[in-house]
Structure 1
């Protein structure tokens, strides 16, 4: 069964570092886009098709701030308007391709896939800690996942899978029954759990010296529908008051996941990490390696699930108590998709 798309929303398009003065292609919500930077540095995104013979514009050439079709040379400006055509004194009337509003935030280019009049750049997601000098940024990857984007969203609303999937990176043994809490706030779902008086998880090793003492560990999963997940997780020495709000002497990280729905069977997971410690090449490289391992563990499970979902057979999912956040998240996406119709 197809999952819904909420078109009136900002979606991650690409890492800003990957878009320059050459034509690039991206697919979002089953729509193909050609993307480039103008001479002034702004990102332009156009429908990747020439209205003449339907050749992809991405096969053409960037000339100044216009895309020249590689089939018959029609040129389109950043608004999608045809500004010239070979052998014609004027560009053909009605030769227009769709343009998409874009914005940049947190090292990402974002694109608005719905009604352009409703696109507000001020609503593009930005985590306050991204601009906080007490935190350093570890920019990650664009991980292709051959699974529906809401399957990845399920994963990012679910702390309970960590003890089974991420045993060598994000979990400690013996905490399978730790209580999980959840609530909805508007178009956001928050899911959280605390692990009290336990060992430091592997990914935190070497980031802070707790003298071998046990820690109190928190995981807060903030899912902003339809495509953003921020996981606030950290540790403080047991008994220092972290559950009550005292986190002055702690490790804290924000794992940010920006999901691009490509189609019903695939998505792109852009991720980065913020940590409350200075940038350090050796530490950051080790952290990147651990997080890549963890997110590839998720990828392996989610792609196997998608293969089962694609099989032509009758089946019905069952829900457990631990699915409450995922159910809330999917309901929000359905509401957002329905409000645009």
Structure 2
């Protein structure tokens, strides 16, 4: 399977990286990640160039990794610095070192040419550092499905009524159409549901009890970043849709890591503008969100099995599929552009 490689991908929460060697797989590439003595983080190809023994089975010597098979030792830049019993180190005794950044509590790796590793291209949400908002680290959900299926799901407000009936949806949204907007490598799918009951999450944590106007804005950017803006306000209180921050608003952010063609990691966190100093509710709200995301996991994993069982099945296309289909065309276009021959000087 092909992937967009000239991009940053989240791999693991930074607070889960210690001085032990841990193996991760990103875009089908095995990677060993560990914390340096100065607190930084290193990420190397998890394959010794001698016999392909995983370096994660070796041991740390300071900030170097000693391969557990024959003791070849590599520094945190991927260069071999020692071969036991041999003074000459071949020039090809190298492993790939990946550019690393930490943002939003996550470790991000650049999977393309290191010369293109611009940190400003990492997913961005301006409210994260805004003192009027409160950011909460979520979790990582491993889903046994193709990452594009999860991308389809996260561009699809229509499923919320049926899959998340007690958490993120109500029956009022079943017949409300969605609007699609496309800008470069970004997509926004949105809708407002007027004069309806509040969804479970906002009723429980946002204190909304009467009828509300509520919204969902599903914002996607390549390769697999999602910023979902959802909120509510008392019916009729915010006539200008661009003034949503005056209501009860939350962004759930989903940044995905394709592991292989049938596995994806869904890293998520949220920022909210209500009850921002009530840290004791963070765990309960995160648990409610986690329950909703696990409802998607059940369906997506079953879809993956059905697709593998019937690979030639011809699906029908509905109006709600416009944005997911556009997303897949965007991804294909970027993959093809990366694969195109580069002009020579």
Alignment of 1:145-184 (within 5 A): 145-184=143-182
Equivalent residue number for residue 319 of structure 1: 317
| TM-score of the pair, normalised by structure 1 | 0.95
Q: Considering only aligned residues, what root-mean-square deviation do their CA atoms show, in Å?
A: 1.4
- Secondary structure, aligned partner of 2:172: coil
Point out where structure 2 has 5 or more consecutive residues left out of the alignment. Answer: 340-345
CA separation in 2, counterparts of 1:265 and 1:231? Answer: 24
Is 1:20–2:21 an aligned residue pair? Answer: no
CA separation in 1, counterparts of 2:221 and 2:311? Answer: 33
Residue 42 (structure 1) aligned to one of 40, 43, 47? 40
Alignment of 1:1-341 (within 5 A): 2=1, 4-210=2-208, 212-247=209-244, 249-277=246-274, 278-312=276-310, 314-341=312-339
How far residue 50 of structure 1 moved from its aligned partner, in angstroms, is 0.6
How far residue 203 of structure 1 moved from its aligned partner, in angstroms, is 0.6
- Secondary structure, aligned partner of 1:46: strand
How far residue 281 of structure 1 moved from its aligned partner, in angstroms, is 4.1
- Secondary structure, aligned partner of 1:100: coil
How far residue 117 of structure 1 moved from its aligned partner, in angstroms, is 1.2
How far residue 47 of structure 1 moved from its aligned partner, in angstroms, is 0.6
| Equivalent pairs, count | 338
CA separation in 2, counterparts of 1:199 and 1:227? Answer: 32
| TM-score of the pair, normalised by structure 2 | 0.94
CA separation in 2, counterparts of 1:285 and 1:6? Answer: 34
CA separation in 2, counterparts of 1:83 and 1:295? Answer: 45
CA separation in 1, counterparts of 2:287 and 2:119? Answer: 33
1:106, 1:126 within 8 Å by CA — same for their partners in 2?
no
Equivalent residue number for residue 342 of structure 2: none
How far residue 244 of structure 1 moved from its aligned partner, in angstroms, is 3.5
Point out where structure 1 has 5 or more consecutive residues left out of the alignment. Answer: none
How far residue 43 of structure 1 moved from its aligned partner, in angstroms, is 1.7
CA deviation string 1:195-248 (max 9, x = no partner): 0111111011243344x3211111000011111111000011111125443345
CA separation in 2, counterparts of 1:282 and 1:173? Answer: 31
